[in-house]
Amino acid sequence: METTLRGVGVSHGVAIGEVRHMGTAVLEPPAKQIPAEEAEHEQARARRAVEAVAADLTARGNLAGGEAQGVLEAQAMMAQDPELIADVERRIAVGSTAERAVYDAFASYRALLAGAGEYLAGRVADLDDVRNRIVARLLGVPMPGVPDSDEPYILIARDLAPADTALLDPTLVLGFVTEEGGPTSHSAILARALGVPAIVALPGAGELAEGAEIAIDGSSGEVFVDPSAEKRAALEADAVARKAALSASSGPGATSDGHTVPLLANIGGPGDVAAAVAAGAEGVGLFRTEFLFLDDSARAPSEEKQTAAYRQVLEAFPQGRVVVRVLDAGADKPLDFLTPADEPNPALGVRGLRTLLDHPDVLRTQLTALARAAEGLPVHLEVMAPMVADRADAKAFADACRAAGLHAKFGAMVEIPSAALRARSVLQEVEFLSLGTNDLAQYTFAADRQVGAVSRLQDPWQPALLDLVALAAEAGRAEGKSCGVCGEAAADPLLACVLTGLGVTSLSMGAASIPYVRATLAKYTLAQCERAAAAARATESADEARAAAQGVLSGE
């Protein structure tokens, strides 16, 4: 009998197939004491295992490229954390085996993060994955992970570590469903990059029977268990219609009556450029530069290295617009040479622009490298600061850009409610705004963007969040300046229409979402988008807002 479950859809598309569960064996080694004379040998074993796992994660990142590379390199850094390694060696010195010492040291750190309710609690799944990989190597057993199968399937997991998601084979993994995670988790972002339908935060996903047939809709978040023949036919017809619409859609983003909405790509580095170009991106709306800084957490990359990487991206979009976000360090992206290790709540502490203003040499080097990279190119370079709170922040960033001799537009990301509320003030110092809806939702609702339990508050359809977007867009219009969206909200085709109706001037997203958004925008007039936006804002919940917008656009 067909039943329907609902999670959070995070990657478009429909998949129908059999359930296969991720291996979830608990790698807990036995607790036993070793003689004192074996301690040095065990410590050496632990160090070798750590280095091997870090090397494997780095190699996986190099193979995957793009955003996945930055995520996996961050995991490799996690494996080599000096404090964790020191704790492991202390435990071995008092009698633990290497594998038990690793297990206990990581468990202690895990409890600290999860129990404190910090922003970094969202990285617990990543930490568990690193621990399991090290322990499995020390025990000489296979690493629990993606199941072996010769036939395509839908993967079910409690959560997916980045190392697993990054190398999923889309010819075998038709889609995936996780019990935990949020719409802006690493797994969700990488699923969109892969173009694999995905649903997260589905309660009871682990109870789906192995081998059961299910259908998933990555747009609506629905999971149909034992779908009827009618449901299968409807979903397959919908998938065919979507594919046809995508194939027919090309050119610049615009509504049906010709109102232009540039569709840009979010990228993590040069490795993402090819997919963005292939998807017809009109430029880059968010170039995350953190990937360059993950190679060595002890020091910043040289000006020469940065210049070369930035130029690769700029050269790919001649005459196009490339918006670069300067280094966004702190919180879930700690760097040893920049971010304090003892902040009680890193998400509310020194991160983003605050970190750079505390280290002006790092900011100056990055801005100088960007200036050099753009020399002689016709590209329209724009540079923006993360985590701008007020006009003073915006002025400090603009002053730094001018001091570095950067000939580009200077902008501010709106990720803190204060910046949206006082957007006209911020725009007295900068030339454009870009809304980072992931963090803006997190700070508006006090809801960690990586925690599935509060996923309803991370939903970009929340009317309060739409109100903040409208405030920022209205400020941009009043000042004659642009206001785009570069958060994951832009990847939702229906929400893209609403954002357009709110007055947003450009949309930036993962490359795989661009065709969906382009095709959907082209179906409606600007007036329809404006009516849908007004209807969504007049509701009291995310579900109501989504339904109201859908009703307007479908003519109901």
For 402-422, write each residue's pLDDT tens digit. 999 999 999 999 999 999 999
Of the pLDDT bands very low, low, confident and very high (cuts 50, 70, 90), residue 555 is: confident
Q: Which helix (H) or strand (E) holds 175?
A: strand 173-178
329-349 pLDDT, tens digit per residue, is 876 666 777 777 667 777 788
* Cα–chain center distance at 108: 27
Q: Which pair of tokens denotes residue 441?
A: 């939702």
Residue 122 predicted with pLDDT over 60: no
374-393 pLDDT, tens digit per residue, is 999 998 999 999 999 999 99
Q: Which helix (H) or strand (E) holds 77?
A: helix 66-79
> Considering 12, 359, 483, 486, which one is annotated as catalytic?
486
Q: Which pair of tokens denotes residue 269?
A: 């580095």
Highest mean pLDDT among 151-160, 241-250, 379-388: 379-388
Q: Which pair of tokens denotes residue 444?
A: 């508006």
**Which one-letter amino acid corresponds to residue 271?**
G
Distance CA 187, CA 176 (A): 10
Residue 318's CB is within 10 A of a number of other CB atoms, namely 9
Of the pLDDT bands very low, low, confident and very high (cuts 50, 70, 90), residue 120 is: very low
DSSP-assigned beta bridge partners for residue 16: 215
Distance CA 260, CA 257 (A): 9
Residue 507's closest CA among 256, 279, 285? 285
Q: Would residue 497 show up in a list of annotated catalytic residues for this protein?
A: no
Lowest mean pLDDT among 26-30, 35-39, 134-138, 280-284: 26-30
The answer to whether the beta carbons of residues 236 and 243 sit under 8 Å apart is no
Of the pLDDT bands very low, low, confident and very high (cuts 50, 70, 90), residue 119 is: very low
Of the pLDDT bands very low, low, confident and very high (cuts 50, 70, 90), residue 206 is: confident
Sheet holding 198-200, edge to edge: 3-6, 222-225, 213-217, 14-21, 153-157, 173-178, 198-200, 8-11
Q: What is the DSSP string of 222-268?
A: EEEES--HHHHHHHHHHHHHHHHHHHH--SS-B-TT--B--EEEEES
pLDDT of residue 300: 86
Q: Which pair of tokens denotes residue 98?
A: 């290497």
Distance CA 4, CA 312 (A): 46
Q: How far separated are the first and last CA of the chain, in Å rounded?
A: 31
Which residue's entry shows tokens 């949309």?
Answer: 507
Residue 520's closest CA among 246, 273, 291, 177? 246
The answer to whether the beta carbons of residues 213 and 226 sit under 8 Å apart is yes
* Cα–chain center distance at 111: 24
Query: Which residues, 6+ apart, have CB-to-CB distance to 50 below 8 Å?
Result: 79, 80, 85, 88, 102, 134
DSSP-assigned beta bridge partners for residue 214: 17, 225
pLDDT of residue 325: 97
Backbone angles phi, psi at 425, to 5 degrees: -65, -45
Angle at Cα 169 formed by Cα 163 and Cα 175, nearest 5°?
90
pLDDT of residue 55: 86
Distances (CA, A) of 462 to 165, 166, 299, 408, 545: 28, 30, 40, 34, 7
Which residue's entry shows tokens 């990488």?
Answer: 190
Residue 186's closest CA among 161, 167, 155, 168? 161
pLDDT of residue 118: 39
Q: Which pair of tokens denotes residue 504?
A: 């947003």
> How are the residues of the chain apportioned to helix, strand and coil, as percentages rounded to the nearest 5?
50, 15, 35
pLDDT above 70 covers a percentage of the chain that reads 90
Query: Which residues, 6+ apart, have CB-to-CB distance to 199 below 8 Å?
Result: 7, 8, 9, 10, 175, 176, 177, 178, 216, 218, 221, 222, 223
Cα dihedral sign for 393, 416, 547, 156? positive
Distance CA 467, CA 445 (A): 13
Length of the chain: 556
Residue 419's closest CA among 461, 355, 475, 367? 475
Summary mean pLDDT of the chain:
87
Distance CA 73, CA 120 (A): 17
* pTM score, whole prediction: 0.70
Lowest mean pLDDT among 26-30, 68-72, 501-505: 68-72
Helix axes 186-194, 66-79, angle to 10 degrees: 150
Which residue's entry shows tokens 């992931």?
Answer: 438
Q: Would residue 259 show up in a list of annotated catalytic residues for this protein?
A: no
Distance CA 509, CA 183 (A): 14
Span 504-531, mean pLDDT? 94
> Considering 12, 186, 401, 483, which one is annotated as catalytic?
186
DSSP-assigned beta bridge partners for residue 267: 287
Angle at Cα 23 formed by Cα 104 and Cα 17, nearest 5°?
155
Residue 402's CB is within 10 A of a number of other CB atoms, namely 12
